[in-house]
Structure 1
């Protein structure tokens, strides 16, 4: 006949603890039945324990539940029910508890700061872009860096973004939300959280006024600039000279031109192929720039000067680096455009406008040559070789058009 166990009560427990503190003789087990008991040690401490038989090995084991009265009698009984339900399913509650503890530690250790640092290792950005993003990361780390990524709420992201929105820094606020969103997407892929809470506030932040890059779209002004560039060649760093001469013809992002490598220039097929850093994490597709006869000749001339280096536009001070970020804009200012009338990046807007409005090329081909994502009638993104022949014709026509403007202005 099984031994009858009388259930514990709080008054009984407190009475026995008081007696135990006076006796100092030995540890006492106060059973509540079903494997649950309270262990009273010689110093009067009270510890909840659960005894059970492991389903796999049939050996006895014990789980620590907590200290009385921090863990009450009622709470200990709830744990007993949970453990017995697991045993009924042949699940070892000790192993289950260990797994839950490890998961809690895993989540607790995976703070926003930690996950963001891991994500940033996957980014392939220009050094200038990385420096520009440091401000954003610093502010995000200060606000939510120590929070487990799974515990962060949309309101917490919104609060830090609105600190800058209230100051009129809408671009900073948007960039902050965007960077947070990238981290959450990364965390979701690793199973660290289920929702991208930064995306949930994307429509709430204010939209600032778009500030367009300075660009020339007047033919006479453009011809004057091109003529100034040609007349001033040879007065400084030769790599900068060629960068400023080539950029209007290829209208890539200035950072992409500065990072051009000789290994990517195909003289035989008259192409320059590379992966734009801005789209590397999204599409990882190469961009192909067909080289007009004029651009090919300039690259061939430059190869005679910097061909032994890795980079086409190598720094004359350090052969392992490219010309600096600000050199192209500084050089343009020396050509008579002192008031921000044009920038290296502005050549992209110049080409987009004039190729469309003057030379009448299809806007889809222009956008594709700008390395923007362009989709066909079925919503699929064009691949890198799509319409390459048409784009080759367009790039030659563009260089011929620039030459016409240059010569017309020189007359």
Structure 2
């Protein structure tokens, strides 16, 4: 007997679930909590199954019967209604696999794995939103070919922002690689972008030959500019750290008793100072052992800026850092062409050359102290974990002693022995 709409509407919940049958396998299930749901019971290849059609009265009796009849026709055509619904749902979900969705999931994964800081992730996402997502964000990743992925990059390249284009190319490659890992696509078309863009221009970082160290140290000794600037040059030479790591250094990062400087992955931003959140360049904590010479320089610096937060505050404000041009301006005052002869970053080149030429230190220890990024993932994991801190302490003290020695006369690194 067919079910009436009045009977369905007036059905009251009982202590147990019960069913009100309609025709051809359709029934209304009435639950103890008062909810009512339509189900269609059927047999397919000799096996009994059922499929839900939704809640009553949202789905009316008439609509439930229509759904039942559609399902019966599918069965006659050899189609399992439930499997068809699953396939349709999967197709709907797959249709949502746009480049932007994959990009968001990839970005969240990088954060969960602590590969990025929140600030770094936000910077990357801003670049994606500005240059990439407006062009290919709403397209399904499966339909994106190499030529499609290159479209937003060509625009950035045309604006002569080659470094940004290179970074975005790497991000797109990683996102499409994530889509492969998720099973959304079978291969990564972004890998075929290799060589398609102009490479970023290599910035020449001039450095003196080691033979000129005595000359430089003599000129530095006679430098009569701002005292804190001279100390900044000495500190940079002794630690061979990067400019932003030094300019934005806080006193709280130094453990004088243990003779180490711990550069954080990210710093608390200084209001009004661009990029003041920057810490160690590789986005992971970096340890700099402090030689006796560096500790002596720090003691002098403390007499000038020890009451504040920053090691190297600017001329006009104790809460804002020294200008990024300060060291290079001083080098020009000393007579060096910072475009061709020597710049502040060149101290890193000079220190690295001396350490390698000495033949005393392992490559891993030098690379770790230089805070270079290891391209080999296995080596990177090993180096980061071990850190070679004992050898690195010896390296930094050797470098401090070497600078003392060459201030009197030049000694080739491999012949220098600490007395």
TM-score (norm 2): 0.62
Structure 1: which 5+ runs fail to align? 3-32, 36-50, 66-75
Deviation at 1:370, TM superposition (A): 0.6
- CA displacement, residues 218-240 of structure 1 (integer Å, 9 cap, x when unaligned): 2343333333333225x2372x4
Deviation at 1:290, TM superposition (A): 1.1
Q: Distance in 1 between matches of 2:350 and 2:391?
A: 20
Residue aligning to 2:352 = 352
Alignment pair present for 1:140 and 2:132: yes
Q: Distance in 1 between matches of 2:187 and 2:245?
A: 31
Alignment pair present for 1:332 and 2:319: no
- Retained in 2: the 8 A contact 1:243–1:328? yes
Name the CA shift for 1:167/1:63 in 2 (closer, same or farther; >3 Å): farther
Alignment pair present for 1:216 and 2:215: no
Deviation at 1:337, TM superposition (A): 1.3
Alignment pair present for 1:263 and 2:252: yes
- Retained in 2: the 8 A contact 1:267–1:296? yes
Q: Distance in 1 between matches of 2:82 and 2:118?
A: 54
Q: Distance in 1 between matches of 2:220 and 2:128?
A: 37
Aligned pair count reads: 340
Q: Distance in 2 between matches of 1:64 and 1:303?
A: 85
Deviation at 1:315, TM superposition (A): 3.5
Deviation at 1:177, TM superposition (A): 0.7
Residue aligning to 1:278 = 281
Residue aligning to 1:21 = none
Q: Report which stretch shifted further, 289-298 or 396-405.
A: 396-405
Q: Distance in 2 between matches of 1:143 and 1:254?
A: 36
Name the CA shift for 1:268/1:343 in 2 (closer, same or farther; >3 Å): same
Name the CA shift for 1:97/1:161 in 2 (closer, same or farther; >3 Å): closer
Deviation at 1:156, TM superposition (A): 1.5
Q: Report which stretch shifted further, 76-85 or 289-298.
A: 76-85
Alignment pair present for 1:180 and 2:183: no
Q: Distance in 1 between matches of 2:203 and 2:237?
A: 18
Q: Distance in 1 between matches of 2:172 and 2:393?
A: 40
Secondary structure of the 1:279 match is coil
Q: Distance in 1 between matches of 2:352 and 2:292?
A: 20
Residue aligning to 1:305 = 304
Please provide the CA RMSD for this pair. 4.9
Residue aligning to 2:239 = 250
- Retained in 2: the 8 A contact 1:113–1:146? no
Name the CA shift for 1:330/1:201 in 2 (closer, same or farther; >3 Å): farther
Structure 2: which 5+ runs fail to align? 3-23, 27-37, 41-49, 266-279, 411-419
TM-score (norm 1): 0.63
Q: Distance in 1 between matches of 2:263 and 2:402?
A: 25
Secondary structure of the 1:381 match is helix
Deviation at 1:266, TM superposition (A): 1.1
